[in-house]
A and B are shown apart, each in its own frame.
Chain A
Amino acid sequence: MRSYLSDRMGAALLMAPLLLFLVLAYAWPFLGVVKWSFTLPTPGLGQYEALLTDDLVQSVFIRTLRIAAIVTIVSVCAAYAITVVWVRGTPAQRLIAEFCILVPFWISVLTRAFGWVALLSNRGLINTWLQAIGFISEPLALVRNEFGVIVGMTHFLIPFAVFPLASAMRSLDDRVLLAARGLGSSRMRTFWTVFVPMTRSGIIGSAMIVFVFSLGFFVTPAILGGGRSVMIAELIYLRIFQSPDWGLGAAISVVLVLFVGVLMAVLFRYVKPRQLI
């Protein structure tokens, strides 16, 4: 009995510091943000009413959903292609694929956004080359618009889309694929009717991760959108720092958390967390 009690004491003592830290530094201040959303600038539901009626807020919400949807489709397809090679290629192909996935993954979001500015801006690589070969006479507007945001976000999120797909593809039984081929199915047909359906959990997990990340994405849209293609996260930043409208920023945050929470709940109904790593 004594040892049972001291075990529980030990657990409590070991777990307490982190739990206490997160309650004080995260949970409690989040409740403060919730309070802001109901009290600033005047007490009441005014900020939530604004979310439903304000044209600017609405258009930013719709743009965010649209960009997130496009980025999700493009990233998952691109990630699928490179993951197939990473998991099932020859050793040399696997090494190259791994390099191309992991190096960008470890490089900071700012460096990557800057790289895209260097490529896409008016005097950047792509416009310089296209003009040099006489393909265009005026630089194309590739950045500081929605196109630039989608390119930058897709680039950032492909590695995140890879991991759930890789885990689904690794656990797939080769013999099933060989059986399909052996029974006379073509490469294409084996891929579309056997391989893809069997990695469905990976596709769902990957799409949900990319979509959820896209919703709260801040740095890439702010730099590559150049203030013209504002997404929810940047709107929160602008409300807090440029038009000290803390109540609205807080209300948008609360709605964003609820929205993401619902999406995660749906995700975990279909995919076990273990399959995502």
Chain B
Amino acid sequence: MPTYRPGPVSLVIAALVALFLLMPLLAVIPVSLTPSRMLAMPSGELSLRHYRALIEDPRWIDSILLSIRIGIVSSAFSTVLALCFSLGVWMFQPRFTAALVGFVLLPMVVPPVVSAITLYFLLTSVSGMSSFFGYDTWLGVVMAHSVMTVPFATVLILVSLSQFDRRIDLAARGLGATVWERATRIIMPNIKFGIVTAALLSFVLSWEEIGVTLFITSVNAITLPRLMWMGLRDNIDPAIAALSVILIIITVLVLAVRSVMARPRGGH
């Protein structure tokens, strides 16, 4: 426990920053309850019409279902690839490990807009060969999202592997376990929290991905962020406020559950 505490001046400045951080999240609540068709503050009466619009308009439901489907498939795909890669790195410690991991982390470091144009190039080229994987298809989005989420999954799994005691694996190896047995019966059960976290983070990242999705979809594969973007760009639709309130509530609940489940280990 630190004995050196922040003084009153730091506390006041920090409180202002905290207010700044929460302000836009709180602002959407009154807007979502406005009876007006336009983006405005409610003046007097409140209405749930924008929440009803979310349920009644099939575009919102369709895009939510599509985003869930893309999120699940790309999260499963990138978690499996990241897990195999991390196991390979950890168990065999090959030469050039740093360079290989660095290569895998590239999509996380490169500016998203450059990844977006790169994936746009990929999917428009593939479109000529196959009508399933190319530009503006849901599998195309899965492929692009997997590229973007795989570095995050890899980092999380590598971090949990680095906390696992190598001697346990060496004991299994000494007792004659095969590589497959070591991976599935010794290592994976011990890092399952990391694997689940990687899958969850990949899903969330795919669920809210917009920078790349904007470049690789047009009319068929409209994910939820893509639909929100369209609503924000053209004529601002207060249904987005209702949706935002729901998303914020879900986020707060998930974070609350997570902080109760993960014992206080401090910070991140």
Contact = CB atoms under 8 A, between A and B. Distances in A.
Contacts of B6: 84-85, 88-89, 93
19 contacts: A8-B92, A15-B94, A17-B84, A18-B104, A18-B154, A25-B143, A30-B121, A97-B14, A103-B252, A106-B204, A106-B251, A111-B28, A115-B28, A158-B21, A178-B4, A219-B229, A236-B113, A256-B111, A277-B268
A145 interface: no
B70 interface: no
Interface of B: 2-7, 10-11, 13-14, 16-18, 20-25, 27-28, 30-31, 38-41, 81-82, 84-85, 87-89, 91-92, 94, 100, 103-104, 106-107, 109-122, 125, 143-144, 146-147, 150, 154, 159, 179, 204, 207-208, 210-211, 214-215, 225, 228-229, 232-233, 236, 240-241, 244, 247-248, 251-252, 254-255, 266-268
A117 B232 contact: yes
Nearest to B87: A14
Contacts, number: 278
A212 B254 CA distance: 30
Interface stretch (A47-55, A121-129, A199-207): A121-129
Given A22-B103, A215-B111, A106 B255 contact: yes
B25 A104 contact: yes
Query: Shortest 4 CB-CB distances between A and B: which pairs?
Result: A216-B111, A115-B24, A14-B88, A11-B92
B211 A82 contact: no
A82 B17 contact: yes
Given A110-B225, A166-B267, A218-B211, A128 B41 contact: yes
A174 B116 CA distance: 45
B249 to A, nearest CB: 11
A10 B92 contact: yes
Q: Is the interface of A mostly helix, strand, loop or mixed?
A: helix
Contacts of A100: 17-18, 21-22
A36 B121 contact: yes
Interface in A57-108: 78-79, 81-82, 84-90, 93, 96-104, 106-108
Contacts of A44: none
B28 A107 contact: no
A260 interface: yes
Contact of B100 (A19, A25, A115): A19
B117 A158 contact: no
Interface residues of A, number: 95
Contacts of B109: 260, 264
B268 A81 contact: no
A85 B14 contact: yes
Contacts of B104: 18-19, 22
Contacts of B5: 88-90
A107 B117 contact: no
Interface string A173-191: 0100110010000010001
Most buried by A among B4, B118, B233: B4
Contacts of A99: 255
B25 A17 contact: no
Contacts of A17: 81, 84-85
Contact of A253 (B23, B114, B267): B114
Contact of A115 (B23, B41, B94): B23
